[in-house]
Amino acid sequence: MDTPDRVAVVGAGAVGLTVAHDLATGGAHVSLFERDAPGSGMTGRAAGICYDAYAEDIDVSVADRAMERIRSLSGTGEFIFHETPYVFLAREGDDAAVSALEEAVERMQVHGREVSTESADEVAERFPIRTDDVALAGVAENAGWADPATYVDLFVDNCEDVGVEFHVGDAVSVRADPPSVVVDGDVVDDDVTDVFDAVVVAAGVHSRRVLEAAGYPIALKPYRVQALVGSCDYHGPIVYDATDESYLRPHPSGVLAGDGVEPVEATPDEWDETADDWFVRDSLAAAGHRTNTDPSVERAWAGLCGATPDRNPLVGEVADGVYVACGWHGHGFMWAPAIGELLAGEILENAGVVPDPFDPRRFDGDESFAVVEGMTQPDDTETEGRPNRTDRQ
Ligand SMILES: Cc1cc2nc3c(=O)[nH]c(=O)nc-3n(C[C@H](O)[C@H](O)[C@H](O)COP(=O)(O)OP(=O)(O)OC[C@H]3O[C@@H](n4cnc5c(N)ncnc54)[C@H](O)[C@@H]3O)c2cc1C
């Protein structure tokens, strides 16, 4: 096939905006279809935590490029990457989490990560967090956070600068053979709105529905997660508690905290967007305990993440000229800068290619699999020892 000239991207989240921008920068004429507003999907609900502390080759290479790009963009417009160490800890009495943490840190170090294990006292000396219940911590230096809304604003501007044509308010369906986009409601006698050389589905947790309708089901299951912002005075590190699988990061109002992963499949068009009372209560208590503060809830919300059977994302071609990028297990924001570049490069055949283990065609799309929560590892050797690759949100 010739290098695609006209490319449609479906979805203006962090991933769709980045791939649209990178395709246009590479010379393609790009139309970007977003049914609501840019960033109105899960990107607008993300905590914005980024790190490079992975224990697998492929994750490491993606994260390295993503972090490099995030840092190079920091300071452009309102987008700022706040360098903040990432402390992941296992509590006293949780021997399984302690061994998983030790093993993970060792493997991260083999991959050249700036990560070390530290005792509760060492962590308490260095950071303003409570550690009297901590058995062992890992500290990843190469980490931080950004406000996802500012990434969206930056990439909307960047896309406009390189000529991406926005179609905002258009929910679309996709067809293969030839790759086409149909604006929902515009289908008359099977007419398609537009035929493209390539179509990229970056519709987040809706990607399965979009591709299934085109005849190409993918192995993606949405699951619900929750987060809140609490007002308090906190200026410490990002913290992930492996024992109760909760996390927090500093926020201009105090702290952003989350956990609440429901290890069951959710329906992308019908789910509860408000946080549960139990989540708000437990998260405020957990964040208050760890940060030695007394946060009060400013706002709380729920969102959906996408799971795949082996916890690797689905990125690549599903049919001739039809591509997908989804299935992030809660890492889609931090990976978007690298994934956009890799996928655009693969489509335009002018740069690196997406790693093989991300090939969406490794699954038929009808697999039955469990949504795996937190540090629980699926029965799959490829993913063993990835305690930081959790469904962290
Ligand atoms: C509470 C929470 C906390 C999180 N924290 C982090 C974090 O700290 N770090 C991290 O890396 N990740 C985090 N995530 C995960 C992150 O939000 C996602 O992985 C990432 O935003 C996915 O981006 P995306 O562009 O693939 O999808 P989305 O941002 O969901 O974008 C998809 C877009 O497609 C549009 N769309 C859908 N269907 C159609 C259609 N038919 N036609 C046109 N448009 C369509 C939607 O409106 C949406 O705007 C978190 C998620 C949640 C919910």
pLDDT beyond 50 at 313: yes
Find how far residue 122's CA is from the centre of its chain. Answer: 31
Residue 38 is assigned to a structural domain of this protein: yes
Ligand 1: centre distance to CA 386 (Å): 22
Residue 341 is assigned to a structural domain of this protein: yes
**Domain range holding 317?**
6-48+148-218+311-364
- Report whether 9 contacts 200 (CB < 8 A): yes
Q: Quote the number of domains for the chain.
A: 1
For Cα atoms 51, 54, 55, give the angle at the middle one, nearest 5 degrees.
165
Q: What is the pLDDT of residue 351?
A: 76
- Tell me, using a 6 A CB cutoff, whether residue 225 lines ligand 1: yes
* Nearest residue by C-alpha to atom 21 in ligand 1: 43
Q: What is the pLDDT of residue 386?
A: 29
Ligand 1: centre distance to CA 124 (Å): 35
* Nearest residue by C-alpha to atom 31 in ligand 1: 13
Whole-angstrom distance, CA of residue 268 vs CA of residue 206: 6
Ligand 1: centre distance to CA 383 (Å): 23
Backbone phi, psi, residue 57, to 5°: -50, -50
Q: What is the pLDDT of residue 191?
A: 57
Residue 338 is assigned to a structural domain of this protein: yes
- Tell me, using a 6 A CB cutoff, whether residue 208 lines ligand 1: no
- Tell me, using a 6 A CB cutoff, whether residue 334 lines ligand 1: yes
Confidence of residue 52 (pLDDT cuts 50, 70, 90): very high
Question: Alpha helices, DSSP H only, in 275-367?
Answer: 277-291, 332-348
Residue 284 is assigned to a structural domain of this protein: no
Confidence of residue 155 (pLDDT cuts 50, 70, 90): very high
Residue 134 is assigned to a structural domain of this protein: no
pLDDT beyond 90 at 347: yes
User: What does the pLDDT average to over 41-45?
Assistant: 97
Residue 158 is assigned to a structural domain of this protein: yes
- Report whether 44 contacts 387 (CB < 8 A): no
Ligand 1: centre distance to CA 390 (Å): 17
* Nearest residue by C-alpha to atom 25 in ligand 1: 13
User: What does the pLDDT average to over 316-341?
Assistant: 97
pLDDT beyond 50 at 21: yes
Residue 54 is assigned to a structural domain of this protein: no
Residue 337 is assigned to a structural domain of this protein: yes
- Tell me, using a 6 A CB cutoff, whether residue 156 lines ligand 1: no
Q: Kindly report whether the global pTM for this prediction surpasses the value 0.75.
A: yes
Q: What is the CATH number of the domain that holds 19?
A: 3.50.50.60
Choice between 130 and 1, residue whose per-residue pLDDT is larger: 130
For residue 221, CA distances in Å to 257, 307, 370, 372 come to 24, 5, 9, 11
Q: What is the pLDDT of residue 350?
A: 80
For Cα atoms 147, 301, 305, give the angle at the middle one, nearest 5 degrees.
75
Note the pLDDT tens digit of each residue in 232-290: 999 999 999 999 999 999 999 999 999 867 767 778 888 899 999 999 999 999 999 99
Whole-angstrom distance, CA of residue 143 vs CA of residue 114: 10
Shortest CA distance to 172 belongs to which of 142, 207, 197?
A: 207
Structure tokens given for 78: 């309102």
For the chain, what is the mean pLDDT?
A: 91
- Tell me, using a 6 A CB cutoff, whether residue 49 lines ligand 1: yes
